[in-house]
Amino acid sequence: MAEQKILIVEDVDHIRLLIKKTLERAGYEVEEATNGKEALKAIQLDEEIFLILLDYMMPRMSGIDFLKRVKEFKREYGFYVLMLTAKSTIEDIKECLLAGADDYIIKPMDRDILLEKVKLFFDNRGMGKFNTIYTSFKGEVLRTTTNVVVLVTAVSETEIGFESTKQIPAGARVKMQSNFLDRVLEEPVDFYLRVYTMEKEGKNRWKGKGAFIALQEDVAKKIRALTTRGANLHEEVEETEEELEAPEEKEFDESMAFKTKDGKIIRYGSDDDED
């Protein structure tokens, strides 16, 4: 394992020990802190800390207070923050992401999902432990001007693969909707994703992958059922380049999207967009 380390910030001893043993068995080097103040000292003393697993509710300095303290210099120190907390409302999730968290897991944690997300931060590849089904249905990523229509090409319990005619920067956190998937899941769902890869496949064609952020357990179970039985998720709709470029306007959620991993704000549809 590389010299880069993981810092666990958790005030409950047995939970912190469980997470530590899980990560160490997977080959990671781990440090510990019991609150935000100890975490601040740790990142100042050890420049090899690459990923912080952060609880929200802690004494002395909470997780959200820690995020607010490090937001301005997080890019300079070069670490990522994965929230690991029992707080599960959309307001909690948005608050943490807006404060600078890169990803979010709702407790109680699933060991394999934790390891999958951690590995994605280290090598952008994951473990590949979850069933994946190959699909073809449309979704939309919300942006500040027009929205981006994407073709979802793969779905697993932890991530979605997609193609687009517009680049979405790696590290961006976005909200994605799909009327087709809503019908399959029998409920409307806004999926929040951390886009971790985006590669150019040809002229005006990009291929990306996004990891689910704070996927609710009931939705995760439905996706698990789909992937386990190899459901047919192919939408019989012909798409044109015009449809991909200019979908209908929808509400944009500034707090969830378009912040890259280094904290830069990307306003899609502006003159600064990359094609």
Predicted local distance difference test score (pLDDT) of residue 274: 39
Strands (E), the chain: 5-9, 29-33, 49-54, 80-85, 103-106, 132-141, 148-156, 159-164, 173-177, 191-202, 205-212
Contact 27, 3 (CB under 8 A): no
Predicted local distance difference test score (pLDDT) of residue 146: 65
Predicted local distance difference test score (pLDDT) of residue 269: 34
The span from the CA of 244 to the CA of 162, in Å, is 13
Predicted local distance difference test score (pLDDT) of residue 239: 52
One digit per residue, the tens of pLDDT, for the chain of length 275 reads 447 899 999 999 999 999 999 999 999 999 999 999 999 999 999 999 999 999 999 998 999 999 999 988 887 888 999 999 999 998 999 999 999 999 999 998 899 999 999 999 999 887 778 999 999 999 998 754 568 899 999 999 999 999 999 888 888 888 999 999 999 999 999 899 999 999 999 888 999 999 999 998 899 999 999 999 999 999 975 554 445 454 444 444 544 444 444 444 444 333 333 33
* Structural domains of the chain sorted by starting position, each given as residue range(s) with its CATH number in brackets: 5-123 (3.40.50.2300), 132-245 (2.40.10.220)
Largest CA distance in the chain: 56
pTM of the model: 0.82
Contact 209, 159 (CB under 8 A): yes
Strand order in the sheet with 103-106: 29-33, 5-9, 49-54, 80-85, 103-106
Contact 274, 167 (CB under 8 A): yes
Predicted local distance difference test score (pLDDT) of residue 237: 58
Task: Say if residue 169 is preceded by a cis peptide, omega within 30 of 0.
Answer: no
